Amino acid sequence: MLSLLILFILLLAFFSGARRGFSMQVVYTIGYILSFMAAQHFYKDLASRLELYIPYPAVTSNSQMVFFDQT
């Protein structure tokens, strides 16, 4: 009888945890989708602002960088 009571309590805990875990996963998924949509909407504005601080290095004849060609 005690075994059935313990099994019943464990079963209730399992279903409670599964439901709570599912709801948290739904919240995380919605947050991911919203952050992706915000990034997709604002990336050009942010890139133009960051370009002032992080310029893309241009390759010139005076470049000190070494480029390796795989042939």
Helix (H, G, I), strand (E, B) or coil at 1: coil
21 vs 69, which has greater pLDDT? 21
Q: CA 34 to CA 30: how far, in whole Å?
A: 6
State residue 42's pLDDT score: 93
Q: Which residue has the tokens 């009888």?
A: 1
User: What tens digit of pLDDT does each residue of 2-42 get?
Assistant: 888 888 888 888 888 788 888 888 888 899 999 999 999 99
Q: What is the DSSP string of 35-71?
A: HHHHHHHHHHHHHHHHHHHSPPPPP-TT---------
Query: Any idea where the domains of the chain sit in the sequence?
Result: 1-53
The residue whose two tokens read 């070494």 is: 66
